[in-house]
Amino acid sequence: MLENASKAENSQAVLWRIERNGTSPSFVLGTLHIAHSSLQELSPAIKSAIAASRVVALEQEQLSRGAYGQVMAQAGKLMSARDKPLQRMLDESELKVVEKAISAAGYPEDLALGVRPWVATLFLAGGCPHETHEPMDLIVANFAKSHGKQILGLETLLEQFETLAAIPDEAQAAWLRASIEMNDRADDVTVTMLELYRDRQIAASLDIMRELAPNAGLTDARMQDIRHGLITDRNMRMAQRGMPLFEAGGAFVAVGATHLPGSDGLISILKSNGFTVTPVE
């Protein structure tokens, strides 16, 4: 798996310089959506790129828990299910894992009976509500704000939810079971993701889920459905909206690192649009 990941196109860096037609260079940073002590300081190259930029674009502009809750309220029809799918697909111990995650996020446990699998998976991925560290995306945003940079979002949370809700139900269920299977090893999963990021093996970060959750039913077809919902479909949307920023030059774009590598990744899309891309770090 790691050998294949190292061979993926544009997988050797997380910070890239983007240039075309003599405009000021732009940069693309692949981040980890993890709040960890080792990710609290941006590198000098990243800071320099942000400081030199005219605009900073993130996956989505609103990163607060409050904004997340507001969108959840708006996305009720996407998130809810009347036929209690989790009760049907999970055993009692698995359902309790989901209920605990929902309770930790400040919602009633019985919410688990009325949500679709992708929603439960997001709750499991939410981490500790009392986490004292900040995710990389927020660190980038705060640094950019401190330098007076305009901050934009390439997509909205509601659009992200719509894309996740479109993942076929069987793939949603396998993704949820994988999250449950990995739940009691959350620290190990975090360490693994950090090592993949530091070793520039980011193309393996989704496939590692199948290694860590062998009993979840993550078949090739279901993995492809999940990949499309989490990565591929969103790559096209973010590339389309980011293209005017790159064409104008002087943009700093930070998105999840899994959106960068591969023939359908953002770096390949930029290459195909005539940009010169150079790995920085």
Residue 22: the pLDDT is: 83
C-alpha angle 249-250-251 in degrees, rounded to nearest 5: 95
Domain assignment of residue 118, yes or no? no
Helices (H) and strands (E) in the chain, counts: 15, 6
Domain assignment of residue 226, yes or no? yes
Domain assignment of residue 239, yes or no? yes
SS3 letters across 11-79: CCCCEEEEECCCCCCEEEEEECCCECHHHCCCCHHHHHHHHHCCEEEECCCCCCHHHHHHHHHHCHHHH
Q: Which residues, at least 6 apart from 83, have a Cβ–Cβ distance to it below 8 Å?
A: none
State how many domains the chain has. Answer: 1
Domain assignment of residue 173, yes or no? yes
DSSP helix/strand/coil, 115: strand
Please say whether the beta carbons of 169 and 205 come within 8 A: no
What's the predicted TM-score (pTM) here?
A: 0.91
Q: Which residues, at least 6 apart from 108, have a Cβ–Cβ distance to it below 8 Å?
A: 102
Domain assignment of residue 247, yes or no? yes
How do residues 37-81 score in pLDDT, each as one tens digit?
A: 888 999 999 999 999 999 999 998 766 666 666 777 778 889 998
Domain assignment of residue 95, yes or no? no
How do residues 39-51 score in pLDDT, each as one tens digit?
A: 899 999 999 999 9
Alpha carbons 222 and 257: distance in angstroms, whole number: 21
Q: Which domain holds residue 180?
A: 2-64+134-279
Pairing mode, if any, of strands 251-256 and 150-153?
A: unpaired
Paired strand residues for 30? 255
Domain assignment of residue 231, yes or no? yes
How do residues 213-234 score in pLDDT, each as one tens digit?
A: 999 999 999 999 999 999 999 9
Domain assignment of residue 112, yes or no? no
